[in-house]
DNA sequence: CCTACCGATCGGTAGG
DNA sequence: CCTACCGATCGGTAGG
């Protein structure tokens, strides 16, 4: 929200460290010196270490939500559910795996360090992020193109994608584009094999 | 390996705390007092806090590997790849979601706190654990019953299962049995729809 | 944003 | 396994 350049720099540096070493193992002194500050100075920008964690996650959610919107907007007007899901998957892989994109990984792994009130706020943003997924998956379910219900498919799909954080190697032969196609191939049955014929 | 009852108790108590609060946020004093000991006493059983973490994870891997072996042994002699994969999935869901089974979640989320040498040891155990999965999935791939290659299917499947740690609720209508069936339905194409006919 | 600092906590140990 | 303790670190603050 507040746009001080120094503040943004602290958030980016904190994100990297929170991701690499974890929230608890990161000291505010680490962050300060990586930003060329003295040990007490981060507290001029953030009330507490936890506030900084929240800022990192919040920044990640805003960016991801904005990016998702743009990805969908780029699609042709009559894009069907499968095409929309593909765009969502591809964008989400970018969110997870683009170099320097440490915010969402921090959310996934360090959320626990936040008090319930802040976690609730994040969950609201997550709900908004998942809306487009719910809709696409429900349409696919209605067309008989899922092998489970839309809700479970969404949970499985997110789990399968988040797993890339552990095994995906940036030097791998598989591009994010190719990877997205594989996810769609696994989770969405092609129309010609769908359980229910298109009416 | 070493079977002191006190030692095992410490491991179990540490596992719960490492899982609930994380490794860094858990103090050796927490663990000591939860075990009815004085603050310095855990160090009579474990050289360091990190050693205790390794013991937790190691215990989890041993138990999981043993349980997997037994699950497969219970199958009829001529069980096919799909049946074996189903048994593997069901067992793995138990490992992840059975009450009191905190060891593997700790491995998944706190591994990072270990030095490379110990992490390597764990990865070896993980390789052994995944062998049966590789084989079943390769057979399914050869029969045209996967929509991606065996290796990627395994990575996606593990990711999708590990996601249950976040969303699965023990009071939910869905039993682990039912859940395992859904995973198979999504990841394994039924024979009649397989790409390649059975020879 | 720096200086100088405090209070608390924590992993670990010596000696029994 | 307890007692008593140390050295180091850390989040945070007052005052400028």
Q: Is the CB of A47 under 7 A from strand D?
A: yes
Residue A197: predicted pLDDT:
47
Q: Give the residue whose CA sits closest to D14 at C1'.
A: A40
- Confidence band (pLDDT; 50, 70, 90) for B37? very high
Instruction: Check residues A194 and B157 and name the one with the higher pLDDT.
Output: B157
Exposed / middle / buried, residue A72 (Cβ in 10 Å: 0-12, 13-18, 19+) = middle
**Which residues of A fall below an 8 Å CB-CB distance to B?**
21-25, 109, 112-113, 146-148, 152-153, 155-164, 166-167, 182-183, 185-187, 193
A57 Cβ contact partners less than 8 Å away, ≥ 6 residues apart: A103, A106, A107, A110, A111, A114, A122
**% of residues, chain B, pLDDT over 90:** 89
Length of chain A in terms of residues written: 199
> Which residues does chain A have with pLDDT short of 70?
1-3, 195-199
Question: Residue B144: which H helix or E strand, with range?
Answer: none
Q: Which residue has tokens 């969405």? A: A188
Note whether A160 contacts B160, CB cutoff 8 Å: yes
Q: Is the CB of B109 under 7 A from strand C?
A: no
Q: Is the CB of B38 under 7 A from strand C?
A: no
User: What's the sign of the alpha-carbon dihedral A38, A40, A45, A50?
Assistant: positive
Residue B139: predicted pLDDT:
98
Q: Which nucleotide is nearest to A43 (CA to C1')?
A: D12
B147, B164, B182 member nearest A148 (Cβ): B182
Q: Is the pLDDT of residue B199 over 80?
A: no
Radius of gyration of chain B (CA): 19
The reply to whether the predicted model has a pTM over 0.85 is: yes
Q: Is the pLDDT of residue B196 over 60?
A: no
User: pLDDT (tens digit, 9 = 90+) per residue, B42-99?
Assistant: 999 999 999 999 999 999 999 999 999 999 999 999 999 999 999 999 999 999 999 9
Q: Which nucleotide is nearest to B45 (CA to C1')?
A: D1
B22, B164, B186 member nearest A148 (Cβ): B186
Residue B2: predicted pLDDT:
57
Give the tokens for residue B10. 């410490």
Give the tokens for residue A82. 């499968």
**How large is the angle between the packed helices B116-142 and B81-97, nearest 10 degrees?**
150
Note whether B161 contacts A161, CB cutoff 8 Å: no
**A75 CA from D15 C1′ (Å):** 57
End-to-end Cα spacing for chain A: 47
Q: What is the mean pLDDT of chain B?
A: 94
Question: Residue A161: which H helix or E strand, with range?
Answer: helix A150-162
3-state helix, strand, coil in chain B (%, to 5): 70, 0, 30
**What three-state secondary structure class fits A79?**
coil
**A130-134, B3-7, B83-87, B100-104: which range is least confident on average?**
B3-7
Give the tokens for residue A141. 């379910």
**B40 CA from D3 C1′ (Å):** 9
Residues A176 and A179: their CA atoms lie apart, in Å, by 5
A-interface mutation test, from B22, B141, B176, B179, most A Cβ less than 10 A away: B22
Q: Is the pLDDT of residue B10 over 90?
A: yes
| Under 8 Å between Cβ of B111 and B57 | yes
Which of these, B114, B110, B95, B85, lies nearest to B165 by C-alpha position?
A: B95
A56 Cβ contact partners less than 8 Å away, ≥ 6 residues apart: A11, A14, A15, A18, A102, A103, A106, A107
| Under 8 Å between Cβ of A150 and B123 | no
**How large is the angle between the packed helices B176-187 and B150-162, nearest 10 degrees?**
150
- Confidence band (pLDDT; 50, 70, 90) for B114? very high
Give the tokens for residue B140. 């399914």
B100 Cβ contact partners less than 8 Å away, ≥ 6 residues apart: B12, B16
Note whether A163 contacts B156, CB cutoff 8 Å: yes
């Amino acid at each position: 929200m507040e746009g001080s350049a120094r503040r943004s720099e602290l958030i980016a540096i904190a994100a990297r460290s929170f991701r690499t070493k974890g929230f608890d193992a990161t000291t505010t002194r680490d962050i300060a010196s990586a930003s060329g500050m003295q040990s007490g100075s981060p507290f001029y920008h953030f009330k507490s270490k936890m506030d900084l964690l929240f800022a990192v996650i919040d920044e990640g959610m805003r960016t991801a939500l904005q990016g998702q919107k743009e990805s969908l907007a780029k699609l042709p007007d009559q894009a069907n559910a499968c095409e929309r899901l593909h765009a969502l998957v591809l964008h989400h892989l970018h969110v997870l795996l683009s170099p320097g994109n440490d915010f969402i990984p921090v959310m996934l792994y360090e959320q626990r360090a936040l008090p319930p009130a802040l976690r609730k706020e994040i969950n609201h943003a997550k709900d908004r992020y998942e809306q487009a997924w719910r809709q696409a998956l429900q349409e696919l379910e209605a067309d008989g193109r899922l092998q489970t219900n839309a809700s479970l498919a969404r949970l499985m799909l997110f789990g399968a994608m988040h797993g890339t954080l552990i095994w995906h190697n940036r030097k791998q032969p598989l591009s994010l584009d190719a990877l997205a196609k594989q996810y769609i191939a696994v989770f969405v049955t092609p129309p010609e094999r769908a359980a229910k014929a298109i009416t």
